[in-house]
Amino acid sequence: VRRQFQEQRRSALRIQTNARGFLARTGYRLLLAELRAEEERLAAEAATAYVLRVEASALLLQHWWRNWMVTERARLEAVRAKQELELALGEQRIREQAAYEQHLREKDEAAQALARMLQQVEQQEALQARKLREMEQEEDVLTHVTDNLIATDLSAGADGLAASGASAVLTREALQQVPSPSRARSSTRQSSALKSTATALPIATRSVVSTVRTTTHTVATAMPAEASPSMASRLL
């Protein structure tokens, strides 16, 4: 019995050992299968995650590219706008510079024209001053000549009058020495001669004065407007 019991016990242990080995082998296979399945699942998940990461990276790269393109386009537009503004400002500065230079040229031309006008006015003033000096000299000469003519005519009239008076005195003295009838006739003739002399002397004097006045009036009216008013008034 003991031997049978030991054999049964040995067979049971053998069965148990075999069962444990079988279970161990079966469990190992199952675990290995599970591990492989888990590895496959993890590999699939890793592949999916990798694909997802790649897709996310691609999306991020695309988004960055789009942002960079937008930023670069904005920067290029800003640079272009700045260049256009600088070009417009440069053209405006060029136009302003050209307008300023034109203004300076016009000012220079106006200053030159004013200088020419002033020079012409100075020349005209000098010419008028020279004409006035000449007219004053002519006035002095004319006044001197007129005074000399009047003085000469007056002295000539006075000499004639004195000569007539002297001849009358001599005639009167001669009449006093002749007889009375002849003295009467001579006195009559002398009286008529004295009357004719006294009448002719003022007429000759008035003729000379009238001639001088006519000459001075002609000269005064023929004078230009630039002449001195005092000269014309004095001559008139």
pLDDT, one tens digit per residue, over 110-141 is: 888 888 888 888 888 889 888 888 888 877 77
Residue 170 lies in a domain: yes
Structure tokens at 228: 């001195």
In a domain, 185, yes or no: yes
Q: What pLDDT digit, counting tens, does each position of 156-166 carry?
A: 655 555 555 55
| Mean pLDDT in residue range 57-62 | 91
Say yes or no to pLDDT of 187 above 70. no
Q: Which pLDDT belongs to residue 185?
A: 46
Q: Is residue 4 part of a domain?
A: no
pLDDT above 60 (res 19):
yes
For residue 230, is pLDDT > 70? no
Q: How confident is the model at residue 2 (pLDDT cuts 50, 70, 90)?
A: confident
- Structural domain of 167: 135-235
Rounded distance between C-alpha atoms, residue 232 and residue 226, angstroms: 11
Looking at the domain assignment, is residue 53 inside a domain? no
How sure is the predictor about 198, in pLDDT bands with cuts at 50, 70 and 90?
A: very low
Residue 218 resides in a domain: yes
> Considering its fold, how many domains does the chain have in total?
1
- The pLDDT value given to residue 132: 87
In-domain check, residue 39? no
In-domain check, residue 81: no
pLDDT at 16 over 60: yes
Asked whether residue 197 is assigned to any structural domain, the reply reads: yes
Residue 236 has pLDDT above 50, yes or no: no
Residue 1: which pLDDT band, with cuts at 50, 70 and 90? Answer: low
DSSP 179: -
Q: Residue 206's pLDDT band (boundaries 50, 70, 90)?
A: low
Q: Give the DSSP letter string of 57-77.
A: HHHHHHHHHHHHHHHHHHHHH
